[in-house]
Amino acid sequence: MANRSEAYDFELFEPKRREPQAPRKKDNVIRIPREKLEKNRRPAAHPFRMFSAFLAFTVVAGILGAFVYGQVQLTELTESLDAAQRTLAEQQGAYTQMKLRSDAGLSLQSVESYATRQLGMKKAGLDQTTVVELSKGDRSQVLQKSGRGGFLDRLLAGVERLLS
């Protein structure tokens, strides 16, 4: 047995060496008890914030409502204006037609032809004119108002009398 050459690996029986590791860092995790965790999860009701949010929402809704209402009114007024303009155009057309008929019926030529054909009249000649002469010529007369005027009229009349 002494001639046997067998090799033994004694490293297998030795304790294993640990490699040096870098020092471990501490965690930054903070442990919070369950009660505080539950309390922090629930948002607290803030009455002032709720009121201000409600007020802001109401103001925005009011502005939008006023804008929509204004647009509806504008649309209705535009439609009304368009209808009035159409009616005006129709009435102006009817007025023009009636004016042309009236002018055609009352023109000097139509009156002359009606007088000669229907009434049997003729144009005035020299035998139908009469000359009138006045003996003393023409005269005119200015009449004054008989009623008394107001205070300013009387004052003005007094000043005129003084200056004349």
Q: What is the pLDDT of residue 11?
A: 74
Burial of 154 (0-12, 13-18, 19+ CB in 10 A): exposed
In the structure, what pLDDT confidence band is assigned to residue 144 with cuts at 50, 70 and 90?
A: low
- Measured between alpha carbons, how far is 92 from 100 in angstroms, rounded to an integer? 12
The CA-based diameter of the chain, rounded to the nearest angstrom, is 195
- Measured between alpha carbons, how far is 153 from 164 in angstroms, rounded to an integer? 16
pLDDT in tens, 52-66: 999 999 999 999 999
- Measured between alpha carbons, how far is 34 from 77 in angstroms, rounded to an integer? 66
The pLDDT mean for the chain works out to: 82
In the structure, what pLDDT confidence band is assigned to residue 127 with cuts at 50, 70 and 90?
A: confident
Task: Using a cut of 0.75, tell me whether the model's pTM lies above it.
Answer: no
The answer to whether residues 60 and 66 touch, using CB atoms and an 8 Å cutoff, is: no
- In the chain the beta strands, taken as DSSP E runs, fall at none
Residue 3 has pLDDT above 70, yes or no: no
Most confident of 4-13, 90-99, 146-155: 90-99
